[in-house]
Amino acid sequence: MIRFLTAGESHGKGLTAIAEGFPSNIPFDEEYVNFHLARRQLGYGRGGRMKIETDKAEFLSGVRFGKTLGSPVAFFIQNKDWKNWQKKMSVGEIEEEVEKVVIPRPGHADLVGVSKYNFNDIRNSIERSSARETAARVAVGSLARKFLEQFGIKVGSFVENIGGVYPANNFGSELLEGKKVNLKDAWSLSRKADKSVVRVLEKEQEEKIIEKIDEAKEKGDTLGGSFYVVATGVPLGLGSFVHYDIKLSADIAQTIMSINAVKGVEIGGGFALADKFGSEVHDVIIKRKGELTRRTNRAGGIEGGISTGLPIVVRGAMKPIATLMSPVETVNLQTMGNVKARRERSDFTAVPACAVIAESMLAWVIAKYFLIKFGGDSLEETRDNYESYLNKLSVRLKKNFE
Ligand code: EPS
């Protein structure tokens, strides 16, 4: 079973991540991780921090001559901003008085954090709850996606809307019952989305979103949005219906929901399916070139917690960033007086980055279930198991029902 841990504060020395459980001999290099880390940093509407950082991962273990060793892979991503925070973030006690943060921002983890962990300074809570941690997730997710690529499994994403500005064309529905039901390469979605500063697929929508972000900036406000993240090439049979905690759909929902500021996750048609007749929803089973497949993919590639072999389609909703330059009301914890929330350097919107992080998280979950099913200590062994399963899959089904 693969697992990962991340450590690090937003303005500490850096972020550390350890990923383990992957087989040996996966081709893996720092450039590949850095490519995805850079994608996470982009997007119109990001704040000042992204101008300071150029995230780069250094491998501390687990890789030799460009291939994994089967041992834990440890990553380190330096926080360049740390040099400006050395006193404020000192590990040891210091003489100097450091100003405490006492005004909690609604929507952030400030109030719940200080209450739960018994702090007298909101800084202690901000540091770990910050979305800075997601850089470490992209690093471990890059290992997962590199592993999946060896089996032709690709992950990609695009932004559906920011601030309620949707495209004229419903690209999401094309994945469920339109042109892209049989999409072969989900990365093609990202290739297209990455050309846009807000990671959308339509030029006109991009312009409207930029206007909307400019409006938010002017007002000192923030915006959320929604995104699609898709995986293609996933074989039938990952996950299970036998227990609640090994349903592929449930694990994907948990993992996407764990990304900072995500408040909603749908698989396939999601909430919209609840309004329809069954006959309008379920993906009709058909025969194509002698193989069983579906006419539509409203289930989003998962039935009964098990992958169907069609693209896995996930939609996520991100709330607006909680730090506002024209802040909402709150209470000063020292004076208990009503005040406006504190301003902090922040993003105006981070939906494009959120979609990139979701790619990493989806890749992670799929790699986890792939390895649960196929195992293997080396990539070669995993491949043997996988190929033997694939070769026999439809033959077995046919034979069983002869
Ligand atoms: C982020 C780093 C943070 C924020 C942002 C995401 O850096 P700083 O707090 O120094 O500006 O820019 O996080 C948030 C908006 C948040 O609310 O947590 C990053 O690396 O993505």
pLDDT digits (tens, 9 = 90+) for 92-122: 999 999 999 999 999 999 999 999 999 999 9
167 closest CA partner among 201, 212, 216, 215: 201
**Ligand 1 atom 10, closest CA:** 49
pLDDT digits (tens, 9 = 90+) for 270-285: 999 999 999 999 999 9
Region of residue 92 (phi > 0: left; psi between -120 and 50: alpha; otherwise: beta) = beta
- Give the per-residue pLDDT at 306: 98
Quick check: CB of 321 below 6 Å from ligand 1?
yes
Instruction: For residue 18, list its beta bridge partners.
Output: 5, 74
Quick check: CB of 52 below 6 Å from ligand 1?
no
CA triplet 34, 36, 37: central angle to 5 degrees?
Answer: 60
- Give the per-residue pLDDT at 219: 95
Gap between the Cα atoms of 164 and 169, Å rounded: 14
Determine whether 35 is exposed, middle or buried from the number of CB atoms within 10 Å of its CB (0-12, 13-18, 19+): exposed
Q: Where are the alpha helices (DSSP H) in 53-161?
A: 110-117, 123-129, 134-149
pLDDT digits (tens, 9 = 90+) for 357-395: 999 999 999 999 999 999 999 999 999 999 999 999 989
Distance between alpha carbon 249 and the CA centroid of its chain, in Å? 15
For the cut 90, the answer to whether the pLDDT of residue 345 exceeds it is no
For the cut 90, the answer to whether the pLDDT of residue 290 exceeds it is no
Report field, pTM of the whole predicted structure over 0.95 = yes
- Give the per-residue pLDDT at 65: 98
- Give the per-residue pLDDT at 344: 83
Q: How large is the average pLDDT for residues 313-326?
A: 96
Please report which confidence band the pLDDT of residue 343 belongs to, taking 50, 70 and 90 as the band edges.
confident
Cα(80) to ligand 1 centroid in Å equals: 13
Cα(82) to ligand 1 centroid in Å equals: 13
pLDDT digits (tens, 9 = 90+) for 120-174: 999 999 999 999 999 999 999 999 999 999 999 999 999 999 999 999 999 999 9
Residue type, 71: S
For the cut 90, the answer to whether the pLDDT of residue 41 exceeds it is yes
For the cut 90, the answer to whether the pLDDT of residue 60 exceeds it is yes
Gap between the Cα atoms of 310 and 322, Å rounded: 36
- Give the per-residue pLDDT at 123: 97
Quick check: CB of 15 below 6 Å from ligand 1?
no
- Give the per-residue pLDDT at 235: 98
Quick check: CB of 49 below 6 Å from ligand 1?
yes
Q: How large is the average pLDDT for residues 334-340?
A: 97
Domains of the chain, CATH where assigned? 3-91+98-398 (3.60.150.10)
Please report which confidence band the pLDDT of residue 175 belongs to, taking 50, 70 and 90 as the band edges.
very high
Structure-token pair, residue 277: 């007749």
**Ligand 1 atom 8, closest CA:** 49
pLDDT digits (tens, 9 = 90+) for 198-228: 999 999 999 999 999 999 999 999 999 999 9
Q: How large is the average pLDDT for residues 68-91?
A: 97
- Give the per-residue pLDDT at 74: 98
**CA torsion 196→201→204→207, rounded to 10°?**
-30
CA triplet 279, 281, 286: central angle to 5 degrees?
Answer: 80
Cα(219) to ligand 1 centroid in Å equals: 20
